[in-house]
Structure 1
Amino acid sequence: MTQRATASNSRTARGKRPGARLAGIDAARGLALLGMMATHVLPTFEPDAQLTPTWVGLVFSGRASALFAVLAGIGLALSTGKQQPLQGPDLWAARRGIALRALVVGAVGLSLGGLEVNIAIILVHYAVLFLCVLPFLGLGVKRLLPLAAAWIVVAPVLAFLLRPWLLAATPPLHLGHNPGWDDLGTPAALLGDLFLTGYYPVFQWIAYLLIGLAIGRMALTAAAVPALLLAGGAMVAILAKWASVLMMEDWGGRRALEEQLADPSYPLANLLQVNVAGVEQSGSWWWLATSAPHSGSTLDLLHTSGVAAAVVGACLLLGRLAEWVELDLLLPLRGAGALTLSLYTAHLCVMASLYQKPLPSGWTVDGVYWAQAAAVVIIGGIFAALAWRGPLEWVAHAANQLGRHQPARLR
């Protein structure tokens, strides 16, 4: 007891917090939030006939949301035993807690679904993803990695086969809008949209959480793991993109898809760089050869997962540097990353208040983004410095604790 108290006081005296070595995880989550906000506010295409991609579309589209999902898996791993997964009653208690937290996130998402805003809101899908990975929480990294690899290969093929069937139903099992409370009255359309036909198809996105769980089960505080994540993730991302370019450009995949679309003016080449979520990807197996953002293909999942792993590794290395220089360099980002549910919700409410309305005098779209980004970083930094939870994080945490409660067993 005395030794633990002395160590704790020593950390406090140096201005460090327990678990500071994993502050990079929260910082990566803060980066994901800022990247998603950028795709919501700033244009991803230039306003020309060819839809020329902007730097925001080229850098953040598909990658920021994937990073957000991979980090969800890492967070689940860290809260369920880290390298040694919980087992027995403790695992079941953790599953109950995560399920209740998912219900809170899902309720927030369904409530936000009523906002008039041109943004694909991820929270309901996020909550469903939490529920879908509950069976895998007791697995270690050696079982999670091959499972994630198999999911990345098989799920896109099954989705490609099933999606046309769902869209051909009468009415189509597709919402065309953010899920809201009213959609609970049409469960088939809601589930079809959430799992296969919507913007964030849960069926393929389970791969992100499996990869996140595998990363979270690694020894993240070991010296080599962050560097391995950075190097290995970058290599996977580059190879996946190279393979897609090879098949689409050199082997004729893009030309075949353009012929199928039968519109010579359709800027498919530019859409493949930024976002193909609005394109019906059916009728040609070449759709599975793309690595286009939001395509849900094997190469898309590999590329975005690799980017996510590399970002996590880089942030963990920055966390190590911050410890070495005894300066919390990541405070603003990790603060924002610890408040993502509250800050994301606030961001959506701000965007809804501006939707289809003229900007205030003197404001530009760039100004709207940077003002929100600054607010996110400042608020996050203040909450982190004061060790406060955000309001929605407090509710989600309370639900988690309620689910994890294990009444004392009678002897």
Structure 2
Amino acid sequence: MTSRTPATRPRKTASRHQPGRLRGVDAARGLALLGMMATHLLPTFESNADLTPTWIGLTFSGRAAALFAVLAGVGLALSTGKDKPLQGPELSAARRGVALRSLVIAAVGLTLGGLEVNVAIILVHYAVLFLCVLPFLGLGVKRLCAWAAGWILVSPVLAYLLRPWLLAPEPPLRLGHNPRWEDLGTPSGLLADLFLTGYYPVLQWLAYLLVGLAIGRLALAKAVVPVLLLVSGTVVAVVSKTLGVTAMEDWGGREALEKVLNSPGYPLGSILQVNLAGLPQEGSWWWLASAAPHSGTPLDLLHTSAVAAAVIGACLLLERLAEWVDLDLLLPLRGPGAMTLTLYTVHVWVVSGFYLKPLPAGWTEDGMYFAHAAIAIGVGIVFARLRWRGPLEWVGHGASLVGRGGFKALA
């Protein structure tokens, strides 16, 4: 115990850290990536008549993608001043950098959108969210919390009122597929889909980035902050989900919605547990009382945001534990978490190769998922050990530098 001087441990730990990065945040991002892969490759429902949810559907559906979005807000906060947001010319430069980086992400997403794949690709929505959050980058934590709370409460109501109007025309203003380059020729349909009628409606999902910005503006290096995130996130997540389930099952919500659907035998109970994205949420205000994944209701946004906060808190606590025991415990998660754009892109491209095709002989869905996860973890570990950026992360970082300081920043 006495063989280590006080100066020895900090130098050893610091040498392993990439300046400016929080390992716990990268680890949470890696967990979000693996969770999204699970929902893409593993069944969320059992293959039987009543669509019994699987543990994958009950655990990751809605939560993994929301964690990914909340972490986008955290990352933006960390790159724009942490707990002391940038102001003046520095803030303007940062906004330009974020805007150019979002164009890179959008280009990747539109390219992936041209693939035939049974995956709801998030990247174009992700890029638009980056642009929408630009006005909020200079705000402090209190104002961000107020904005996030208001957005969680109000945006679902606006979406409920506006969606029927956008879906009324023939054809309705909904793409029915992932955004792709060709959709730029029909901007009304593309924008309506991105903001309201698509799988990841930006109008409601902006709440996740606001929550993430608020989290990132906290003093995350202080020991008490991760504990508060874990405890408060867990409590809010349990309360909001309990309230949503109670509203549906005990207060008559599900019965009222079944009447609206007018489809006897439809397994609404199972759908409410896993994914509500495919149902037209109109005709009853009861839709806003559920906490169903991908429903975009206040309780859904609150629950998934709280889960994300708890996960981030837990990962930050694990980071502190790893430093205390002097072991890189988070490497299998933080490695892929530092290059999610590249790994997500490759993952979607590989999945598209099996679209409407049988799996190779001897392969199962479980095996396919574990192969994707293992490769992502392995590649992430190598890149982390070598301190390399992922290829697409390098392009995005370069675009951000150009926006912040011109082409001289790349020299």
How does the TM-score come out when normalised to structure 1?
Answer: 0.96
**Which position in structure 1 is the counterpart of 2:249?**
249
Instruction: Check whether the contact 2:13–2:323 (CA below 8 A) recurs between aligned residues.
Output: no
Cα deviation, 1:11-40, whole Å, max 9, x if unaligned, reads 357753155882000000000000000000
**Which position in structure 2 is the counterpart of 1:138?**
138
1:222 to 1:13, Cα distance in 2 relative to 1, 3 A: closer
Cα distance between partner residues in 2 of 1:120 and 1:14: 39
**Which position in structure 2 is the counterpart of 1:395?**
395
**SS of structure 1 residue aligned to 2:361:** coil
Instruction: Check whether the contact 1:21–1:319 (CA below 8 A) recurs between aligned residues.
Output: no
Cα distance between partner residues in 2 of 1:89 and 1:69: 27
1:296 Cα shift? 0.2
Q: 1:6-405 maps to which residues of 2 (within 5 A)?
A: 11-12=11-12, 15-19=15-19, 22-405=22-405
1:156 to 1:361, Cα distance in 2 relative to 1, 3 A: same
1:56 to 1:16, Cα distance in 2 relative to 1, 3 A: same
Equivalent pairs counted in the alignment come to 403
1:9 Cα shift? 11
Cα distance between partner residues in 2 of 1:394 and 1:161: 41
1:396 Cα shift? 0.4
Instruction: Check whether the contact 2:13–2:326 (CA below 8 A) recurs between aligned residues.
Output: no
Instruction: Check whether the contact 2:33–2:337 (CA below 8 A) recurs between aligned residues.
Output: yes
Instruction: Check whether the contact 1:93–1:406 (CA below 8 A) recurs between aligned residues.
Output: no
**SS of structure 1 residue aligned to 2:239:** helix
1:331 Cα shift? 1.0
Cα distance between partner residues in 2 of 1:113 and 1:281: 25
Cα distance between partner residues in 2 of 1:307 and 1:377: 23
1:81 to 1:8, Cα distance in 2 relative to 1, 3 A: farther
1:73 to 1:250, Cα distance in 2 relative to 1, 3 A: same
Instruction: Check whether the contact 1:33–1:344 (CA below 8 A) recurs between aligned residues.
Output: yes
1:334 Cα shift? 0.5
1:361 Cα shift? 1.3
**SS of structure 2 residue aligned to 1:263:** coil
Gaps of at least 5 residues in structure 1 are 1-6
**SS of structure 2 residue aligned to 1:355:** coil
1:260 Cα shift? 1.2
Cα distance between partner residues in 2 of 1:245 and 1:110: 37
State the one-letter code of the partner of 2:259: E
Cα distance between partner residues in 1 of 2:285 and 2:9: 60
Cα distance between partner residues in 2 of 1:154 and 1:10: 47
1:359 Cα shift? 1.3
Instruction: Check whether the contact 1:21–1:320 (CA below 8 A) recurs between aligned residues.
Output: no
Cα deviation, 1:132-184, whole Å, max 9, x if unaligned, reads 00000000001000110000000000100000000002331100000000000
State the one-letter code of the partner of 1:329: L
Cα deviation, 1:32-62, whole Å, max 9, x if unaligned, reads 0000000000000011111110000000000
Cα deviation, 1:35-90, whole Å, max 9, x if unaligned, reads 00000000000111111100000000000000000000000000000011000000
Instruction: Check whether the contact 1:11–1:17 (CA below 8 A) recurs between aligned residues.
Output: no
Identity %, equivalent residues = 70
1:14 to 1:302, Cα distance in 2 relative to 1, 3 A: closer
Cα distance between partner residues in 2 of 1:249 and 1:10: 54
Cα distance between partner residues in 1 of 2:20 and 2:206: 28
State the one-letter code of the partner of 2:256: A
Cα distance between partner residues in 2 of 1:21 and 1:108: 24
Cα distance between partner residues in 1 of 2:24 and 2:57: 25
Cα distance between partner residues in 2 of 1:79 and 1:269: 42
Cα deviation, 1:320-376, whole Å, max 9, x if unaligned, reads 000000111111211100110000000001101111112111111110000110001
